[in-house]
């Protein structure tokens, strides 16, 4: 019998018959699978899949757990050399679910669809085919709606999901960052949609850059650099060539996202106020995503380091007030960051407190000795920390936590 269930209810031994995705956006080589490891469930979560179809006739009984269940055997989180061991969280009670988690299933659907569209956009440009605008408009609307309901769910997804193909994820991530930043800056829905559309198109010009330059692991030669810089003007040209029905500001976001206020940018060396604020937000989001993304040849910087770097461009590359606002909106500890608290407990950041960036809402996962709590507790480091002695001590680098933070974002069942 075929049964639709939430990925959160998957167990080892279940036969997953369909995940509702085409092979193009599928985590497994085969369309169906008998679940034999938690890694396979983790892959579904990372791909933003919320529900799957299980064939109960082909399913087997859940295998007995090893002698000690994962919570009791979890290794000390802070040791850098540890292997990442995905640990299934205990069933969370409703009061342990944050607002981010409530929006997560809808955000995951919007992100998954927009990712397919991002791939289709790149494919259309590479093959010189007409861009399908309806899908882009729909996806941008859904992203704006998700951010309007909860600003941090899409941001958390972006951080928790792992994709190897920067070509497709970059434009979408810049869109999510820009819409989220725009939302917390109080921009109108129309501005947010313009921002979403412009950012989705901003690097389309890269489809016309030879891949040996685009994907070169080492430093570009001066000549290659000139060719690479041509992508921004090319993004604008593609919009004109395709006669896309978009506003002038969408065109400007695509063409001018590398302009800098001191005139050092390209393609037109625009200065100061000649760069519209929506273009600036795209530029900031672009730099942030480029710095924090893992690429084939190097690991991305932490959000904290990326924001420090962006801060160093304040007043030279970007208008000071927009840098301040951007840093404020992204937060120094974005959702999904694993941190060590002053108590030496390990926690995952769930939600940002815009009024106190250093004190977000966290889910406390592990005790100081590394034992994983069976019932992780949500703690607002600002309002539920009256003594003020529980603080974030440090960020635990990606892959060194000893658990996967994605498991602790538990969307409640709809
Ligand atoms: Fe670019
Ligand atoms: Fe970009």
Running along the chain, 414 residues long, what does each successive block of 10 average in pLDDT? 77 85 64 80 65 86 50 36 37 53 86 91 92 93 92 84 75 94 91 96 94 88 95 96 94 97 96 95 96 79 86 94 88 87 92 82 90 86 74 84 78 54
Q: What is the chain's Cα-based Rg?
A: 22
Question: What is the C-alpha separation between 84 and 398, in angstroms, rounded?
Answer: 10
Structural element, H or E, at residue 43: helix 38-46
- 48's CB contacts (< 8 A; 6+ apart) are 108, 109, 111, 112, 115, 157, 161
- 209's CB contacts (< 8 A; 6+ apart) are 227, 228, 230, 231, 234
Whole-number pLDDT of residue 305: 84
Question: What is the C-alpha separation between 116 and 21, in angstroms, rounded?
Answer: 10
114 CA from centroid of ligand 2 (Å) = 16
Question: What is the C-alpha separation between 88 and 93, in angstroms, rounded?
Answer: 15
Nearest listed ligand to the Cα of residue 167: 2
The token duo for 297 is: 């040849």
- Our measurement of the distance from residue 235's CA atom to the centroid of its chain's CA atoms, rounded to an integer in Å, reads 23
103 CA from centroid of ligand 2 (Å) = 27
- Report the b/e string of 94-104 with b at 16+ CB within 10 A: eebbbebbbbb
- Report the b/e string of 299-310 with b at 16+ CB within 10 A: ebbbbbebbeeb
- 83's CB contacts (< 8 A; 6+ apart) are none
150 CA from centroid of ligand 2 (Å) = 25
Distances (CA, A) of 101 to 25, 44, 79, 106, 408: 23, 17, 28, 10, 9
What sign does the dihedral 36-39-40-42 (CA atoms) show? positive
387 CA from centroid of ligand 1 (Å) = 46
Collect residues with CB below 5 Å from ion ligand 2. 203, 286
Query: In a 3-state reduction of DSSP, which class is residue 35?
Result: coil
Question: What is the C-alpha separation between 147 and 383, in angstroms, rounded?
Answer: 24
Nearest listed ligand to the Cα of residue 290: 2
Contact 314, 323 (CB under 8 A): yes
Contact 148, 183 (CB under 8 A): yes
Distances (CA, A) of 136 to 65, 90, 148, 260: 45, 38, 18, 28
Question: What is the C-alpha separation between 281 and 65, in angstroms, rounded?
Answer: 49
Nearest listed ligand to the Cα of residue 206: 1
292 CA from centroid of ligand 1 (Å) = 15
Nearest listed ligand to the Cα of residue 235: 1
3 CA from centroid of ligand 1 (Å) = 44
Of the candidates 386, 378, 339, which has an alpha carbon nearest to the alpha carbon of residue 362?
Answer: 378
Question: What is the C-alpha separation between 38 and 186, in angstroms, rounded?
Answer: 41
270 CA from centroid of ligand 1 (Å) = 15
The token duo for 41 is: 């469930």
Contact 114, 157 (CB under 8 A): no
Distances (CA, A) of 206 to 27, 164, 212, 342, 408: 26, 17, 12, 45, 36
Threshold 0.95, pTM exceeds? no
Contact 66, 372 (CB under 8 A): no
170 CA from centroid of ligand 2 (Å) = 7
38 CA from centroid of ligand 2 (Å) = 34
Question: What is the C-alpha separation between 414 and 121, in angstroms, rounded?
Answer: 32
257 CA from centroid of ligand 1 (Å) = 6
32 CA from centroid of ligand 2 (Å) = 35
Nearest listed ligand to the Cα of residue 174: 2
Nearest listed ligand to the Cα of residue 177: 2
205 CA from centroid of ligand 2 (Å) = 10
225 CA from centroid of ligand 1 (Å) = 12
16 CA from centroid of ligand 2 (Å) = 37
The token duo for 395 is: 């960020």
What sign does the dihedral 410-189-258-314 (CA atoms) show? negative
171 CA from centroid of ligand 2 (Å) = 6
């Amino acid at each position: 019998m075929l049964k639709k269930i939430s990925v959160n209810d998957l167990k080892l031994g279940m036969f997953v018959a369909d995940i509702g995705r085409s092979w193009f956006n599928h985590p497994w080589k085969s369309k169906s699978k008998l679940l034999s490891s938690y890694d396979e469930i983790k892959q579904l979560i990372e791909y933003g899949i919320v529900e799957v179809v299980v064939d109960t006739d082909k399913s087997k009984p859940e295998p007995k757990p090893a002698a000690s269940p994962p919570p009791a055997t979890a290794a000390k989180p802070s040791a850098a050399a540890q292997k990442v061991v995905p640990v299934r969280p205990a069933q969370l009670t409703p009061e342990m679910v944050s607002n981010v988690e409530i929006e997560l299933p809808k955000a995951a659907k919007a992100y998954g669809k927009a990712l397919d569209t991002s791939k289709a956009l790149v494919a259309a440009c590479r093959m010189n085919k007409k861009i399908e605008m309806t899908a882009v408009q729909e996806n941008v609307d859904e992203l704006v709606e998700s951010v309007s309901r909860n600003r941090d769910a899409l941001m958390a997804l972006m951080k928790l999901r792992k994709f190897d193909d920067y070509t497709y994820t970059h434009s979408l991530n810049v869109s999510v960052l820009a819409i989220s930043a725009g939302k917390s800056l109080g921009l109108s829905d129309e501005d947010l949609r313009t921002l979403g559309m412009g950012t989705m198109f901003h690097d389309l010009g890269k489809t016309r850059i030879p891949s040996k330059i685009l994907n070169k692991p080492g430093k570009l030669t001066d000549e290659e650099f000139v060719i690479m810089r041509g992508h921004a003007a090319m993004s604008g040209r593609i919009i004109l060539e395709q006669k896309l029905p978009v506003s002038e500001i969408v065109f400007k976001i695509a063409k001018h996202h590398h302009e800098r206020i001191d005139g050092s940018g390209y393609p037109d060396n625009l200065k100061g106020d000649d760069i519209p604020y929506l273009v600036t937000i795209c530029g900031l989001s672009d730099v942030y995503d480029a710095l924090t993304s893992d690429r084939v040849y190097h690991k991305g910087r932490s959000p904290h380091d990326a924001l420090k770097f962006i801060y160093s461009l304040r007043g030279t590359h970007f208008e000071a007030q927009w840098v301040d606002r951007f840093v404020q909106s992204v937060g120094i500890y974005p959702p999904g960051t694993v941190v060590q608290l002053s108590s030496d407990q390990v926690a995952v950041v769930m939600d940002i407190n815009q009024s106190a960036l250093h004190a977000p809402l966290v889910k406390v996962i592990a005790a100081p000795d590394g034992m994983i709590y069976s019932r992780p507790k949500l703690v607002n480091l600002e309002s539920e920390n009256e003594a003020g002695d529980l603080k974030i001590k440090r960020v635990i680098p990606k892959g060194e936590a000893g658990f996967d933070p994605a498991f602790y974002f538990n969307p409640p069942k709809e």
